[in-house]
Structure 1
Amino acid sequence: MSRIGRVERATKETSVKVVVDLDGTGVADVHTGVGFFDHMLDQLAKHGLFDVTVRTEGDLHIDSHHTIEDTALALGEAFREALGDRSGIRRFADAKVPLDEALAEVTVDVSGRPYLVHTEPDMAPTIGRDYDTTMTRHVFESFVAQARIGLHVHVPYGRNAHHIVEAQFKAFARALRAACEPDPRAQGIPSTKGVL
């Protein structure tokens, strides 16, 4: 069964096209116009073994907020579509990923209910010329809202902003990959409710 999600989202601020294959090989073809965010989506694809295509045109003459937010919303929606009824998946997973001095701990519940807990150290306000570091939490909020997953992200320590953010995306990718994987022992929906 193909687990592919395709989403197009158009507003007066952005135009976004996203394709996600949950059973890919980690190929990323991402262009948002925000260099560091593209780098983070590359990490999501590579370490999640998801094939991810993103084409976003946004109002970057204002700032990168709308572009990043709307891409994350579309990406979450594409994941939700690709998951289908969530039958036969592992559902829960976690990952710890170090990046030099920083450590990220991520736990995922592909629950059908959006919820985010996010903690990270204080860090430099920007990475590169146009990535506001406060957007990392907002990326996860937006993704969670559309994908309808429970997500806990905790960075207990780190100094370098690039490392702190990148460790989060890598750990998120690993945990999401494991949670979305088929469980060969599972039959049906992984919930006593019978639906996720």
Structure 2
Amino acid sequence: MRMRIHMAALLLGLAVAGCAPDLRTDYPFDGQASGDNLVEVTGQEDGSRVALIDATSKSATVYFDLDEGREMKVDEAFDTNGWDMSFQRYVITMNGGGGNPDGEVSVAVLQGVGWDSLTEAPAAGYQQDASEPVFSDVAGGWYTYDLGQHKLVTRDGLLYVVRSSSGHFFKLQMLSYYDSAGTPAHLSFRYQRLESPFAAP
């Protein structure tokens, strides 16, 4: 009898978990960003920077310039074409290829390479967004989706090298999809300038 009760409780728990909302699409409820300043960049002791992106709006896109470490509002982003990455919820798009045919930003995806050991950008392996953004498509994408908790979990084994709109190279590692309070669509990543490769891609 006790075993039946435990089994029933387990099945009920699985059913509840299966009915939980998919936070990639169902949060926030109003779809509004939390304010005008959607990007915060903080310098780190090792020379890298950590960027916090408020991508909570379901409709707005946040544009980011790696070279200057700041947000670009929509008008400036399109007038200057100087943005490098854009964020809409969990979707990360590059300024090039499918993200913008007029952009020249490209990215190389590296697996099993340590952050500290990467000091020079690779000479090859760069690509632009196609029908799917590189950040979502190549090597399985920047996150895995935990069905039990309905949470996005960053893949620690991936590093990205981004060739910016200004032709500079940056290593980049995704850190989290949540802020300290656990609110989704608050992406964080660290990035740092790299030495250029001998042969430009």
Q: TM-score, normalised by structure 2?
A: 0.27
Q: Higher Cα Rg: structure 1 or 2?
A: 2
Bigger fraction of residues in helix? 1
| Highest RCO, 1 vs 2 (Cα 8 Å, sep ≥ 6) | 1
